[in-house]
Chain A
Amino acid sequence: MLDLTPDEWEALALSIKVAFWATVASLPLAVLVSYALARWRFPGRSALDALVHLPLVLPPVVTGYLLLLTFGRQGPVGQFLESWFGIVVSFRWTGAALAAAIMSFPLMVRAIRLSIEAVDRRYEHAGATLGANPIMVFLLITLPLALPGLLAGSVLGFAKALGEFGATITFVSAIPGETRTVPATIYGYLQTPGGEDAALRLSIIAVAISMAALLASELISRRLPSRSGT
């Protein structure tokens, strides 16, 4: 049924690689930001909240363009990364992962933040009175209790990263084998006469993966109340 051409397999494998690293690499920061938004009161909290959500409402092409300006070879961060670490992200798969990570970040933070807010603070207080310092309280109490939300957020973020198109194609274009992910491949087929069949095949796969991810995320987060409840 799904007789994919080598090109399509390549796009699928690349998409999964990009989405996987986008999710894994941004997870620690997502947890930190979620925790800060859920538990800390500090100046600029609203601004941070807005900044995190910005990619959700900004036209993806704008996000991609801003990435190009900052992380491109001429951009300040891009130049710094290249001259100090020899890392180039523009027009590389790592750049695609960066774009996907930024676009899926708001979804991850929303899910993780909700699960952290759902952790009863009395457990954290109890941990502190038993001698656990704030880091131990976070690692031994908050994090395990928020784990379902962390997983749900990661799955959701992975699915979103898998489908990212606008920012990715603006930032790193669609180079076969390097940055041409599934959405870019579908778009390419639609621009080519006679490419509809291939576009449909890949679209079905995209729908299936996205549905599976949403269901998995929903199933995991439904376990949340039973975990943190008394």
Chain B
Amino acid sequence: MITIVDYGMGNLGSVLNMLNKIGVKATISSSHDEILNAGKLILPGVGAFDAAMTRIQDAGLGVILEKRAMGDRIPILGICLGMQILTRGSEEGKLPGFGWIPAQAKRFPVQPDLKVPHMGWNIVYPSNASRLTENCEKEARFYFVHSYAVFVDKAENSILKTEYGIEFDSAIQCDNIYGVQFHPEKSHRFGMQVLKNFASL
């Protein structure tokens, strides 16, 4: 059973819709008990970094997620802002992230002709093999919406890269912790493959 963690930030319905479509059992929940009993967790998120961390802490979820991630070591997938909070922090905010993956989110550098946010469909390139990206097509494309991009400290934690004026890490992994910058739930069959892979971990 996958639990989609509801901490009040973002588009949870569409993640559930896609999991339903591919026949994966999932629920949306903010209940401590359900999160403590989940087989896997998805952390979605749209919005500002500090707002996300604050809401997680206010809901008493920080300690619980820490236990699931680092104690029980269950698979956790962060999507978009949900990926950025897996890192140690973002230039967007002052609060620390969970720091489960050695990486940081930085603002896209200002460049002529490149609008920020990076919004639309872009191509990903594999940087390291991962079960999350198994059977993904060559030059798979995904839907992105973000103003801050994640950069890993160590190349081994990058699994996909994308270019938008600068090359950034569009999917990252450290052991049982996975993050994708794009929205798999909004990326047709390309996204379905990623969620299927996560569901079968």
- A, B co-complexed: no
Residues on A facing B (Cβ under 8 Å): none
Residues on B facing A (Cβ under 8 Å): none
